[in-house]
Amino acid sequence: MSLESKSRGEELKGEGNQAFKDKHYALAQQFYSKALEIDHANAMLWGNRAFAAIRLEEFGGAIADASKAIELDPKYAKAYYRRGDASYALGHWKDAVRDFRSAIRLAPSDPDLRRKLAEAEKEMKRQAFEKALATPDEKPYSEQVVLEDMFVEEGYSGPRMEADEEGRLRVTLEFVQGMLEAFKNEQLVHRRYAFEIILQAQAILKALPALVDVTIPDGGELTVCGDTHGQFFDLLRIFDLNGLPSDTNPYLFNGDFVDRGSWSVEIILTLLVFKCLYPQHMHLTRGNHEAKSMNTIYGFVGEVKAKYTAQMAEVFRETFCWLPLGFVINDKVLVVHGGPPVACNATLADVRKLDRNREPPEDGPMCEMLWNDPQDQLGMVPNKRGVGVAFGPDVAKRWLESQGLQMVVRSHEVKDEGFEVAHDGYTVTIFSAPNYCDQMGNKGAFIRFDSDCKPSFTQFDAAPHPNKRPMAYAAGAWSSMM
């Protein structure tokens, strides 16, 4: 390598490091890639690009880059560290433990590594323990809840549900408005009411198919929102801009309601209570973060336990398994969290037959609908996330046309402008968590569809919120991943 090339490579590496420091992770990744074109055998560049991929949640790509760094330099401790981070993020505990142990052998004095190893070992043991205890006839946690034993104390000052003529508690608009006001003031509703909301919503969700058809009547509109990720005060911003859900103002929230942000409980209770109040006009899609493995890592389980109980966390988990996998609007638009099931070439008819009441598998149509991503290149390749596939414009067009559809609307990815129209209009991404994790600087957005399924986009900036950092409830040392 010439001195000029070496100098240029170091310059690109420095620009990548500065972009990373400024939290422009995609830009950092680009600089590292350009540097690797000059110095392909530089293990540190591969390790740095792996770190950027982790920040972008491209965990499969991070594992590949870290593995290349290890191949080039088997004594590069940070490469094992990065690969362990990525494996942990995917819930691959055994692989994470292996790599953290390798990293500790090379860097024995790193306390952060030891904390992460302890977390990975704890999760690996928990998974094995739960598997050993599981029985086919185990009664669901939702059926073990005894609502009548949860007395609402006279001293409780929050909103109260009213009883109907048969003595059953019911959701009213007055209660919902009181609940939102309490949440704004960082107050919770009584756990009796929280359980009522979850179980009433679960009963409604159970009656739905895996793929739901939605009709926008002439003169009507439907608002579609993307990931909200526990950013409750940004959800309120959406309602301020677009109005509360109602029977004349329907909404569809496209998955990833929880994790990352530290008001996930408030988000999901708000969405579920509107599902109870307007069951035909509040639609909820399952995202890849409505899953036990993600909720354990990224904070939702810890948040529910901190704000309510471990039993409630299990009831939420069971409820998530009943969320529909997608919606078809006016026989024209598929709304799904990740993308259409193109790798397995499943049809809409196949999706309608799926038994969705389970944790997401690692392949097949359900997995793809939660995890797939679009790409600019033609064809289809394994997803950089490490789960699902990335599909090109030709793949999207072919699949949509085979199903008689015009467009897929999906979420699952941060976009600087809050949305992106790709694949010549066949693929639209919508993301509704502005300044994601208080650090990405992106806008949020939502879509309004009319009866002709013409999309209209609204962008918005992040709302002010109380001083609580993202990932505040994440598992142990993992709260430092962001």
Residues 290-312, mean pLDDT to the nearest whole number: 96
Separation of alpha carbons 456 and 152, rounded Å: 44
- The token duo for 360 is 């997401």
pLDDT attached to residue 292: 95
Please name which of 191, 195, 205 lies closest in space to residue 141, comparing C-alpha atoms: 195
Going by pLDDT thresholds of 50, 70 and 90, the confidence category of residue 164 is confident
Contact call for residues 53 and 85 (beta carbons, < 8 A): no
In the structure, how many helices (H) and strands (E) does the chain have? 17, 16
Mean pLDDT across 446-464: 98
CA distance 141 to 305: 15
Answer whether residue 151 shows pLDDT above 90: yes
Question: Residue 288 burial (CB < 10 Å; 0-12/13-18/19+)?
Answer: buried
Helix 264-277 and helix 232-242, axial crossing angle in degrees, nearest 10: 40
Q: What is the pLDDT of residues 338-363, one digit of tens each?
A: 999 999 999 999 999 999 999 999 99
Instruction: Tell me: pLDDT of 45 over 80.
Output: yes
pTM of the model: 0.93
Can you give the pLDDT at residue 317? Answer: 98
CB atoms under 10 Å from CB of 311, counted, come to 16
Percent of all residues in the chain with a pLDDT value above 90, rounded to a whole number: 90
- Strands (E) across 278-330 are located at 282-284, 326-329
431 pLDDT above the threshold of 90: yes
Q: How far is CA 304 from CA 37, 316, 414, in A?
A: 46, 9, 25
476, pLDDT greater than 70: no
Mean pLDDT of 231-259: 98
Please, where are the H alpha helices in 107-172? 111-133
Calculate mean pLDDT across residues 171-199: 98
**389 compared with 119, residue with greater pLDDT:** 389
| Closest listed residue to residue 262, CA positions, set 23, 55, 465 | 465
φ and ψ of 54, to 5 deg: -60, -45
Max Cα–Cα distance, the chain, nearest Å: 85
pLDDT range class, residue 136, cuts 50, 70, 90: low
> What confidence tens digit (pLDDT) does each residue in 394-422 have?
999 999 999 999 999 999 999 999 999 99
User: Token pair for residue 112?
Assistant: 């952060």
Arithmetic mean of pLDDT over the chain: 95
Looking up tokens 């179980």 gives 199
User: What confidence score (pLDDT) does residue 391 get?
Assistant: 98
Domains within the chain, CATH numbers bracketed = 3-133 (1.25.40.10), 162-480 (3.60.21.10)
- pLDDT of 166 reads 84
| Mean pLDDT, residues 27-50 taken together | 96
Q: What is the H or E stretch that residue 381 is in? A: strand 380-382
Check residue 448 and give its pLDDT.
98
Could you tell me which residues come within 8 angstroms of residue 435 by beta carbon, excluding any fewer than 6 positions away? Answer: 441, 442, 461, 462
Mean pLDDT of 51-76: 96
Q: Which residue has the higher pLDDT, 220 or 137?
A: 220
Computed on alpha carbons and rounded to an integer, the radius of gyration of the chain in Å comes to 23
The segment with the largest mean pLDDT, out of 107-116, 204-213, 435-444, is 204-213
Look at 80 and 133; give whichever has higher pLDDT: 80
Q: How confident is the model at residue 424 (pLDDT cuts 50, 70, 90)?
A: very high
Give residue 130's pLDDT.
77
Assign 482 a pLDDT band (cuts: 50, 70, 90).
very low
pLDDT at 59: 96
What is the mean pLDDT of the segment spanning 71-100?
96
Per-residue model confidence (pLDDT) at position 189: 98
Q: What strands lie across the sheet with 221-225, from one edge to the other?
A: 282-284, 251-253, 221-225, 444-450, 455-460
- What are the distances in angstroms from CA 298 to CA 67, 227, 289, 440, 458? 24, 14, 9, 17, 28
Confidence of residue 187 (pLDDT cuts 50, 70, 90): very high
**Quick check: 322 and 289 in contact, CB under 8 A?**
no
pLDDT at 80 over 60: yes
Among all residues, which ones are annotated catalytic?
289
- What is the structure's pLDDT at 127? 80
Residues 26-37 have a mean pLDDT of 96
* Contact predicate 418/432, CB 8 Å: yes
Q: What is the 3-state secondary structure (H, E, C) of 64-75?
A: HHHHHHHHHCCC
- Range 473-477 average pLDDT: 72
pLDDT band for 126, please (50, 70, 90 cuts): confident
- What value does the mean pLDDT take over residues 188-214? 98
DSSP 340: -
Collapsed DSSP state (helix, strand, coil) of residue 277: helix
Coil, helix or strand for 399? helix
For 148, other C-beta atoms within 10 Å of its C-beta total 7
Does residue 273 have a pLDDT over 80? yes
> Would you give the DSSP letter of residue 468?
-
